[in-house]
Structure 1
Amino acid sequence: MTPLAFRIRYAGLAGQAYGYLLLLPAMAFLVAFTHYPALATLWESAFGAARNGKPAPFVGLANYRALLNDETFMLALRNNILYAAITIPVSVGLALLMALAVNRRMRGGAMARAVFFIPSLLPMVAIANLWLFFYSPQIGLLNRFLAWFGLPAINWLGDPDYALYCLMAVSVWREAGFFMIFYLAALQQIAPRLAEAAGIEGASRGYFFRRVQWPLLMPTTLFILINASMNAFRIVDQVITMTNGGPDNSTHLLLFYIYRTAFGYWDLPYAAAMTTVLLAILAAIALLKFTLLDKRIHYQ
């Protein structure tokens, strides 16, 4: 090997090593707080609960077989799927509409953006307590509104037919403003000359959105859908504050049931099995969305 070739190869290896060193802190945090806990949870799910000071016995897949016969788990899974199926499209669609509304130059545009975004800055516990005043059967604003029209009061959080949908409304109200920021940033990255060209050609706003803006927003939409899916399956503080899983388990969601099993019943291996199932669901959703939307994404 000639000296020149050696120097070129050494420079290349040094550059690769420098790049890996830059990635090392992020990789360390990712392994310590993501990959290792996931593997540890999978391993713990193969054991039974420790009783009377005895070590936890190895049970293999027994915890997963027990999940199939657990009516509460199946109910929580169905509730969470319904919760995700409604809150994800509604919050994402509302975020897109709000971003389109405030993206134009108008008087009070900055104030409108702040009003839409402020709910996402509040802690969920504070938001849940705030909405309890809306849902209160005696002094709640919703029942006062119904009283103006002579309609009977509704026990919003005490009726199994309404309770889960009330939680959905709170989540949509909080998350839509957060997702709006991403859509707004993406809209402002679209070259103004595209809108000018569409105006010269006489294209309507709807046609310009369908043919130009929406395809260019697909990378942002994929990112938002992944985050919305994760948010829909990790609701716990809102449930604890507003309904505590009731009435009649109608607001039991997966993470709430995992929390109650782990820290209420102290059955950590069974909770670990449910956590593994939850991680598998989230991974499947992410993979499905990447598979279905990847061909429709246009990167600038």
Structure 2
Amino acid sequence: MNPKIARHVYGWLLFSPAAIFFILFTHYPIVRSCVLSFFSNPRGSKPPRFVGLSNYDYLIHDPIFWQALKNNLIYAFGTIPITISLAIVMAVWVNRRMPGRAFVRAAYFTPTILPMIAIANIWLFFYTPGVGLFDSILNALGYPGRNWLGNPDTALLCLMVIAIWKDAGFFMIFYLAALQGIPQDVVEAGKIEGAGRWYFFRRVTFPLLMPTTVFVVFNALINTFRIVDHIFILTKGGPDNATQLLLYYLFQNAFEFWDTAYAATLTVVIMVILMTLALTQFKVLERRTHYQ
């Protein structure tokens, strides 16, 4: 065999296992979901039949879907800015020379490595009415306890607190790596020019962190649309759909109601929403991004 052709064949053989798995577990499910969304739900021996846009028409008039979408947007725009801000503050803090720096870094990162189910059960103890940690503190201070997860006004906020607590340490690692990648001559030039810490961070450090911010924002956005574990353990979408998020609603339709056609429709809509938000974020953030 010609050496040039052999080199190409060898390369494709190395690439093919990853490509096959990528197609089977990414592209095929997307195409399959799009196809299923145009068919009815199979019932027993009754095969699915083509129904066109009926599933999408049902989705448009589904009040639970709109409630879940509203909750998801509140959840996303309420957690992402706070999580990223905390991640930057923590990264700047642990990037300095300080006693016990390794311990502090490990403490910040620990929530990330805990299983999602374990985290939900830990916070369930915190939120339990009457005997939970938060109610115990309120009672000790002379205030009445609250049903944190049973109140529609506070249930979603409780889930947002958990997400911020868990994800801030994870995103801190990316910002810490980015801070350590800033050239020292830039830092020394700022000191020579007499720039204060806040001015130097605002004018130099933060612009250099924008490529990392683009990556972090995109991943944080995806995380906010794939929450299932916490809701399943803590609220199951209640009370009164106050914590119903899109992916959990999809999970309910697919594995509790066995309505696979409507679940496929929800999958397609979620993908479109994520693509739209991601493209919008990239378009906005790209203008403020400075690559070295």
TM-score, normalisation: structure 1: 0.93
**C-alpha displacement of 1:194:** 1.2
Correspondence for 2:128: 136
Tell me the alpha carbon deviations over residues 87-143 of structure 1, each in whole angstroms, 9 at most, x when there is no partner: 111111111110011010111111110000000000111000000111111111111
Q: Does residue 93 of structure 1 match 2:81?
A: no
- Where structure 1 has 5 or more consecutive residues not aligned to the other structure, the ranges are 1-6
The C-alpha deviation readout for 1:228-274, integer Å capped at 9, x for no partner, is 00000010111000011111111111111110111111100000000
Cα offset, 1:225, TM superposition: 0.5
Q: How far apart, in 2, do the equivalents of 1:232 and 1:296 lie? A: 24
2:203 matches 1:211: yes
* Paired residue secondary structure (1:296): coil
Question: Is 1:36 paired with 2:28?
Answer: yes
Given the alignment, which residue of 105, 110, 125 partners 2:102?
A: 110
* Shift in alpha-carbon separation, 1:21–1:221, aligned structure 2, 3 A: farther
Please list the CA deviations of residues 150-173 of structure 1 after superposition, one character each: whole Å capped at 9, or x if unmatched: 211111011110001000100110
> Within 5 A, what are the aligned runs for 1:66-215?
66-215=58-207
> What's the secondary structure of 2:271's corresponding residue?
helix
Following superposition, the deviation at residue 211 of structure 1 comes to 1.5
CA RMSD of aligned residues (A): 1.7
Q: Distance in 1 between matches of 2:162 and 2:44?
A: 43
Farther-moved stretch of structure 1 (287-296 vs 149-158): 287-296
Q: Distance in 2 between matches of 1:260 and 1:218?
A: 38
For 2:46, the equivalent position in structure 1 comes to: 54
In 1, the alpha carbon distance for the partners of 2:182 and 2:260 equals 49
Show the counterpart of 1:4: none
Which of 190-199 and 226-235 deviates more? 190-199
* Corresponding position of 1:3: none
**Residue 15 to residue 223, structure 1, CA distance change in 2 (3 Å):** farther
Question: What displacement does 1:28 show?
Answer: 2.5
Instruction: Give the number of equivalent residue pairs.
Output: 291
Provide the C-alpha distance between the structure 1 equivalents of 2:51 and 2:176, rounded to a whole number of angstroms: 51
- 2:48 is paired with a residue whose SS is coil
Alignment TM-score, normalising by the size of structure 2? 0.95
Whole-angstrom CA distance in 1 between matches of 2:122 and 2:91: 25
Once residues 225 and 19 of structure 1 are traced to their aligned partners in structure 2, the CA distance between those partners, rounded to angstroms, is: 34
Choose 142-151 or 246-255, whichever is displaced more: 142-151
Query: Which aligned pairs between 1:180-259 and structure 2 lie closer than 5 A?
Result: 180-259=172-251
* Separation in structure 1 between the aligned mates of residue 136 and residue 25 of structure 2, nearest angstrom: 47
Aligned equivalents of 1:244 and 1:116: distance in 2?
Answer: 28
Given the alignment of the two structures, is residue 299 of structure 1 paired with residue 291 of structure 2, yes or no? yes
- In structure 2, what is the Cα distance between the partners aligned to 1:270 and 1:247? 23
Aligned partner letter, 2:285: L
* Paired residue type of 1:224: V
In the alignment, the residues of structure 1 paired with residue 85 and residue 18 of structure 2 have an alpha-carbon distance, to the nearest angstrom, of 33
Question: Any stretches of 5+ residues in structure 2 without a counterpart?
Answer: none
Q: Tell me the amino acid that sits aligned with residue 291 of structure 1.
A: K
Question: Partner letter of residue 176 of structure 1?
Answer: A
3-state SS of paired residue (2:68): helix
